[in-house]
Copies of this chain bind each other. A is one copy, B any other.
Amino acid sequence: MPDHGNLLRPLAVPAPEEVFETLLDLPGARIERIVSHGHASPEGFWYDQPQAEWVMVVQGEAVLAFDDGRQHKMRAGDWITIPAHCRHRVESTGPATVWLAVHCAPTP
């Protein structure tokens, strides 16, 4: 795993799947870069994670949806903490959208 890089370049070209890259993986936290090009979670799919996730849109735009019906629009610089077991999905993303996600260790 490299110890440095740039989050914005090079950017994966548009492809059928989002591109996930782990930047740091320690017992307490895993830091991940995600590149989306108009991707969305599959219809009816919900993330339901045992650990809290902190996520920021670094470039581009996206909409997160929660299973209580809330939608959360995100543009560059917007961040949100998603508690453990808070069901959510990616409703939509713009082109060339770069996320930074920090997955925290499961709460004991």
Question: Which chain B residues border A79 with CB–CB below 8 Å?
Answer: 4-7, 23
Q: How large is the interface on A (under 10, 10 to 19, 20 to 34, 35 or more residues)?
A: 20 to 34
Oligomer copy total: 2
A58 at the interface (CB under 8 A from B): yes
* Residue of B with least CB distance to A77: B8
Instruction: For chain A, residues 92 to 107, give those with C-beta under 8 angstroms from any C-beta of chain B.
Output: 100, 102, 104-105, 107
State whether B28 touches A76 (Cβ < 8 A): no
State whether A6 touches B104 (Cβ < 8 A): no
Taking Cβ atoms with an 8 Å cutoff, the residues of A that contact B are 3-9, 23-24, 26-29, 31, 52, 54, 56, 58, 72, 76-81, 100, 102, 104-105, 107-108
